[in-house]
Structure 1
Amino acid sequence: MTSHIATVARKEFEDAGRSKLLWSLIGLLVGLVAVGYVAIWYTADDITAAEVLSFLGVPLQVILPVAALIAGYMAVVGERRSGSVKLLLGLPPNRTDVVFGKLLGRTAVVGVAIGLAFLVSLVLGAVLFGSVPFLEWLGFAAVSLLFGTTFVGLAVGVSAAVSTRGKSMAIVVGLYMVLIALWELLTAGPYYLIYDESVPVEAETWYLVLEQFNPIFAYTNLANTVVEGSIFPFQFQYGLQSMEAYQMTPAERYPGDAPFYLQDWFGIVVLVVWAVVPVAIGYYRFQRADL
């Protein structure tokens, strides 16, 4: 059977490219990178391009997940709501082509956003700071692309799994709020109830595993392995841990040699899981949906 994933992906890339909101977010991301580089060059002394590169972690964490979710949350359910999915499936593409073609097309849009942001950083790094740490820049770009793909996969998976726009929006917004605003309450809160104390630096292993499993936390851990400086996770903090703990990775908080699932590189596995599992669930439900 011939695959039409590439055909669907091209159509999705073109359709997503017509979203004014999405391009506004991409423009905001690129603009923040440009303004940030110029501001750092103007105000900071004796700073290198390698150190400035870590600044990208802030706008990428803030804007990239939102752009990815907007790009993906209507990918499949929008076709179902309009009825165009029946017409699409009446043509050569089948349901597999639809899901994975939309995933590929929407990921390409987010990839363009990441590429533009890093291209601006590359040019401004060379112009303003005189050099570019190319290997670090390339590694950071690759990690960021995986981060963006994670949220596209999450959104497309949800979109394929549900039947209405409202459900898709509610789920992706709810998951985003859990990751950004509620993660510490949902993890450190039970820790306090169980052990009757705030989370110490050397916390129980199960808690460190939960910390590592947040894709935002996994992304910053990975990014910190390839860039100079420190990139801190963009998450709400409620003071349920010591201040020292907020600045440490799970591997650093583990007494002794940390197991592999607490190492920084394991963040790659975490991001892949967050991308693949929602798509697998959405694909399964879409294959069996009565359209």
Structure 2
Amino acid sequence: MTSHIPTVARKEFDDAGRSKLLWALIGLLVGLVTIGYVAIWYTVDDVTAAEVLSFLGTPLQVILPIAALIAGYMAVVGERRSGSIKLLLGLPPNRTDIVFGKLLGRTAVVGVAVGLAFLVSLVLGAAFFGDVPFVDWLGFAAVSLLFGTTFVGLAVGVSAGVATRGKSMALVVGLYMVFVALWELLTAGPYYLLYDEEVPVEPETWYLVLDQFNPIFAYTNLASSIVEGSLIPFQFQYGLQSMEAYGLTPAERHPGDAPFYLQDWFGVVVLLVWFAVPVAIGYYRFENADL
């Protein structure tokens, strides 16, 4: 049977590309990268392109998830809401083509955002700070693309699994707030209650395993292992763990040799889980939904 995923993906890329809000966020991302590089060049002496590269992690971890969620949260449920899903299913694409075509098309939009940000960093880095460490730059770009793709998968999975725009928006906004605003309360809070103390720099292993499953943490851990300097996760802090722990990876906080599931590369697994599980659940629900 012929797959129509590429056809749906091309249509989705065009449709998502018409979103003024999405392009405003992409423009903001590129603008912040430009302003940041110019400001660092103007104010800081004796800095290398490799050191400046880590600056990208800040605007990327803040803007990229929001852009990805906006790109994906209406992907499928928008068709159900308007009634066009029945017309679309009357054409050659089937439900599988729709879900994965939309996923591919919306991912391509986020890929454009990542590509533009890193292209600007490459040009400005070479112009202001000398040779750019291309291997580090390429690895950082690949990790950032995976990070953006993770949030697209999360949003498209939610969109496929619910029947209304309101539910889709509530779920993606709620999950984003969990990652950014509530994660420390949900992880360090129980630790504080169990041990009657703030989370130390070297906590129990179960805490490190749980804590690293925040996709934003996984991204900053991976990026910190690639670029010079460490990236601080964008997260609300409530003082439930030692201030010395902020910015350290799980491997750095584990006493002795860290097991494989606490090493930096395991962040790839975390991001893939957050991508694959919502897509699988959303696809299953959409495949069995009465439209």
TM-score, normalised by the number of residues in structure 2: 0.99
* Mean Cα deviation higher: 229-238 or 45-54: 229-238
Report the alpha carbon displacement of residue 243 of structure 1 after superposing the two structures with TM.
1.0
Report the alpha carbon displacement of residue 137 of structure 1 after superposing the two structures with TM.
0.4
How many angstroms apart in 2 are the aligned matches of 1:109 and 1:225? Answer: 27
Q: Deviations over 1:23-51 (max 9, x none)?
A: 00000000000000000000000000000
Are 1:250 and 2:250 an aligned pair? Answer: yes
- Residue in 1 that maps onto 2:156: 156
- Residue in 1 that maps onto 2:178: 178
Kept in 1, the 8 Å contact 2:157–2:282? The answer is yes
How many angstroms apart in 1 are the aligned matches of 2:83 and 2:240? Answer: 48
How many angstroms apart in 2 are the aligned matches of 1:267 and 1:122? Answer: 25
How many angstroms apart in 2 are the aligned matches of 1:247 and 1:33? Answer: 21
- Residue in 1 that maps onto 2:4: 4
Q: Which amino acid aligns with 2:52?
A: V
Report the alpha carbon displacement of residue 19 of structure 1 after superposing the two structures with TM.
0.1
How many angstroms apart in 2 are the aligned matches of 1:112 and 1:172? Answer: 22
- Residue in 2 that maps onto 1:103: 103
- Residue in 2 that maps onto 1:46: 46
Please list, as runs of the form range in 1=range in 2, the aligned pairs for 1:76-115 lying within 5 A after superposition.
Answer: 76-115=76-115
Q: Which amino acid aligns with 2:160?
A: A
SS at match of 1:114: helix
* Mean Cα deviation higher: 246-255 or 162-171: 246-255
Report the alpha carbon displacement of residue 271 of structure 1 after superposing the two structures with TM.
0.2
Q: Deviations over 1:224-280 (max 9, x none)?
A: 111011211111111111111113111111111111110000000000000000000
* Mean Cα deviation higher: 107-116 or 123-132: 123-132
SS at match of 1:42: helix
SS at match of 1:264: coil
Kept in 1, the 8 Å contact 2:198–2:242? The answer is yes
- Residue in 2 that maps onto 1:286: 286
* Structure 2 segments unaligned to the other structure (5+ residues): none
- Residue in 1 that maps onto 2:70: 70
Report the alpha carbon displacement of residue 177 of structure 1 after superposing the two structures with TM.
0.1
How many angstroms apart in 2 are the aligned matches of 1:55 and 1:153? Answer: 26
Q: Which amino acid aligns with 2:233?
A: P
Report the alpha carbon displacement of residue 73 of structure 1 after superposing the two structures with TM.
0.1
* Structure 1 segments unaligned to the other structure (5+ residues): none
SS at match of 2:237: coil
Sequence identity (%): 86
- Residue in 2 that maps onto 1:262: 262
How many angstroms apart in 2 are the aligned matches of 1:101 and 1:131? Answer: 39
Q: Deviations over 1:142-180 (max 9, x none)?
A: 000000000000000000000000000000000000000
- Residue in 1 that maps onto 2:201: 201
How many angstroms apart in 2 are the aligned matches of 1:33 and 1:218? Answer: 22
How many angstroms apart in 1 are the aligned matches of 2:19 and 2:236? Answer: 29
Q: Which amino acid aligns with 2:69?
A: L
Q: Deviations over 1:199-233 (max 9, x none)?
A: 01111111100111110000000001110112111
TM-score, normalised by the number of residues in structure 1: 0.99
- Residue in 2 that maps onto 1:20: 20
Q: Which amino acid aligns with 1:233?
A: P
CA-based RMSD = 0.5
* Mean Cα deviation higher: 5-14 or 128-137: 128-137
Divergent runs of 4+, >2 A: none
Kept in 1, the 8 Å contact 2:250–2:262? The answer is yes
Are 1:126 and 2:105 an aligned pair? Answer: no
Number of matched pairs: 291
Q: Which amino acid aligns with 2:288?
A: R
How many angstroms apart in 2 are the aligned matches of 1:9 and 1:248? Answer: 39
Kept in 1, the 8 Å contact 2:231–2:247? The answer is no
SS at match of 1:234: coil
Q: Which amino acid aligns with 2:170?
A: A
Q: Deviations over 1:82-141 (max 9, x none)?
A: 000111110000000000000000000000000000000000011111211111000000
How many angstroms apart in 1 are the aligned matches of 2:130 and 2:102? Answer: 40
- Residue in 2 that maps onto 1:191: 191
